[in-house]
Structure formats: C-alpha cells, structure tokens
Amino acid sequence: MNKKKGIVYLVGAGPGDASLLTLKGLWCLEQADVVVFDRLACEYMLTYCRPDAELIYVGKETNRHTLKQEEINSLLVTKARKGKVVCRLKGGDPFVFGRGGEEAESLVDNGLPFEIVPGVTSAVAVPAYAGIPVTHRDHASALTVITGHRRSDSGPIPLKEDGSATAIYLMGYENLNAIISGLLDEGWKRETPAALIRWGTRAEQQTVVGTLANIEDLARDAECGPPAVFVVGNVVTLREKLMWREKQPLFGKRILITRPRHQARELAQEIILQGGEPLCLPAIELEATADCGLDFSQLPTYDWLIFTSANGVFFFLEQLRANKIDVRCLRGKLAAIGPATAAETPQVIA
C-alpha cells in the first residue's frame, strides 16, 4: 500500500464476529494511519491497528448518531487530504445498505483515491449463525434483501409472495409492523415462518422464531430490539435442526482481556473459536526504564542469562540494539521461565 499519498479504504468489517473480517480488510487495518470505525465493528479488530494509529468512533444508534453522514464524509476527505492512509471500517459490506456509495462519491467529488474492500454481509451471515440457510433446494430458490429503513417516508418495500423465496430485511425491527403488514397485503400467508435475529454473530446473539402472525408479539415478549435482521420464508423451519452457534462452549460470553493489545490476540482468537467474544481493553502499558539495572558491557562475563517473561526478552533485545551490542557476545547459558518466554528466547541467539 502506498503511504505517500492519502487514500481511503472502504472496508467491510462483517456483521460483528471479528473472525469474519476478510484478509484484505486486515491488511488495510494494519497499514492505516487513521481508522474510522462503526458501532458494529468488534473491538478485537482494533488490536491489529498500528500503535500510533488514530482511532475515530463514528457509530450510529437509533436517534443517536455520533456524527451525521455528511460529517463522516467530510472527515474522510480531510484525513485523506493530509496524506493519511484511512481505513473506513464499516459493519457488514460497504455497498449493502452501508452508505459506502455515498462515501465513495464524496471522495470522487474531491479528487481523492479510494478502494472498496467487500465484507461479509449480515444478510447471509446472520441467518447462517442462527442456523437458517437463506436458500435451500427444498425450501427456497431465491432470496431478496431489503432495507427496513428508507430515506423517504414511503415505508418499507413490500415483496410479492411467490412460494419459493426468502425475504431478508436488514435493520428491520423498528418498522416490523409495517413490514409484516406489507407482506400480508402482497399475499404472504400469516402462517409463513419468520425469525428475528438480534446482534447476529455477536456474543449476545438472540433469535426469536415464529410466524408472520405472531413474530411481533414474540419479539416484544423476548425483549428483542435493534439491530436485527428479519427473515421470512420456509427456510426458517430449518433452524431447529441446523442451529449450531448456541452449542459452542462460550456462546453468550463476552470476556475481558486486559493485556496489551499485541499480546491479546492469541487468547482472543481462542475465545472467538469457542463462540465467545473478546473485549480487548488494555490495562497495562509496558515501557523500558531509563536504567534497567544491567551492565551490558559485562554480558560476556555472565555464566547464566535468565529471562522471566516474553516482555523481558523483547526489552532485552531493544537494549542490545540501543547500545549497539552484537548478540553474539553472549557466552553463558540461557534459561527461560515458562513456555511463552521460551518461545521468544531463541530469538536472542538466532
């Protein structure tokens, strides 16, 4: 990536589970000078940011926007004009009801380069995490993805029933009543299976299953709210057989990791693979002291050099570089306490 000229990468972060970020999205995140991120971007993703990267939150909730869309557009333009590499980390896919098109237009209008990095859209990932395939040879041969919010006041778009389609409404909770009424008016039967999935792919994922006749009442009783994906069609009946997410050992658990960001990744990865969600909130910052108490000029005289932590190995190497000491001057034996320290220690004699 060329960092000499400002550029904006419009990156889809996926629906919430950090492991669904694409490889190119990860590369953009690692190289960015500035990361402008949404409400749905998992905190774990930010562990891959450079330590000196500027992190700017622009999340939106119902009737509560950190920045208006026009202000976000202006922010991207301002940062790129300063020669910054900007990663605009957006929930889902930038071009699937993500206003990525508006942000890209703004960059074009201001003569600024950009790239689109598609993301895993919640339209298919969220139902999948709830055990609902959006298409199935025996149940649905087509799917339609519709927004639950429209810029005009004309209400949600109704969809005609053809007996072999799945209707997926993103951001569908607030207008749920109007969506259901529109579907019934277009010929969908009241007994058509329906599911409302809140915070899909996240630790707090919640799935309510019913029919068009009762899903609204069931959702209210379950205290289900936004953000939610509304799925309508016969494929919903497969959830009972195919549900898998809820069976993972750490499903529903959000686990706090207080280690430095760069040391949190391995544990966070294991938490994600077990169905949990890591919350990386570093409570420790490690710095070298002005005087480490070690006379580096005497290193060749030591019989033993014992490392007690991986951090100790790191800072020892940093001191060698700072003092311009060749690592080959070590003549004694090396020892390490703990497997993590041992894994780092061979670097000293590489």
Dist. CA 27–CA 32, nearest whole Å: 9
Residue 127 to residues 11, 24, 48, 133, 233: CA-CA distances in angstroms?
A: 22, 24, 28, 6, 12
Q: Could you tell me the residue ranges of all domains in the chain?
A: 7-120, 123-247, 253-285, 296-349
Where do the DSSP E strands lie in the chain? 7-12, 34-37, 54-57, 60-61, 64-65, 85-90, 114-117, 142-147, 165-170, 193-198, 206-211, 228-232, 254-257, 277-280, 304-307, 333-336
Q: Which fold has domain 123-247?
A: 3.30.950
Domain covering 7-120 assigned CATH 3.40.1010.10 in the classification = yes
- pLDDT at position 149 is 72
- Residue 327's nearest CA partner among 287, 301, 294, 299 is 299
Dist. CA 118–CA 111, nearest whole Å: 22
SS3 231: strand
Contact 187/170 with Cβ under 8 angstroms? Answer: no
- pLDDT at position 335 is 79
DSSP state of 65: E
SS3 235: helix
Which two tokens mark 80? Answer: 């790129």
Cα 155 to its chain centre, rounded Å, is 30
- Per-residue tens of pLDDT for the chain, all 350 residues: 444 579 999 999 999 898 999 999 999 999 999 999 987 676 778 888 888 999 999 886 655 667 889 999 999 999 999 999 999 999 899 999 888 999 999 999 999 999 999 999 999 999 999 999 999 999 998 999 998 776 555 566 667 777 788 999 998 888 999 999 999 999 999 999 999 999 999 989 999 999 999 999 999 999 998 889 999 999 999 999 999 999 999 999 999 988 877 678 888 889 999 999 988 887 776 666 666 666 776 777 777 877 877 777 777 777 777 777 776 676 667 778 888 777 766 554 44
Dist. CA 222–CA 80, nearest whole Å: 45
Concatenating the DSSP letter of every residue in 92-137 gives B-TTSSSSHHHHHHHHHHTT--EEEE----HHHHHHHHTT--S-BT
Burial 267-291 (b: 16+ CB within 10 A, else e): ebeebbeebbbbbbeeeeeeeeeee
Contact 13/120 with Cβ under 8 angstroms? Answer: no
Task: Measure the CA dihedral 202/204/210/214, to 10°.
Answer: -120
Catalytic residues: 38, 60, 171
SS3 208: strand
- pLDDT at position 4 is 59
Dist. CA 199–CA 189, nearest whole Å: 27
- pLDDT at position 251 is 95
- pLDDT at position 280 is 81
Burial class (CB in 10 A: 0-12, 13-18, 19+), 181: middle
Strand order in the sheet with 228-232: 142-147, 165-170, 228-232, 193-198, 206-211
Residue with tokens 């379950």: 222
DSSP state of 31: H
Which two tokens mark 82? Answer: 């300063």
Name the pTM for this structure: 0.79
Dist. CA 328–CA 62, nearest whole Å: 61
Residue at 310: amino acid letter: A
SS3 266: helix
- Which residues sit opposite 95 in a β-bridge? none
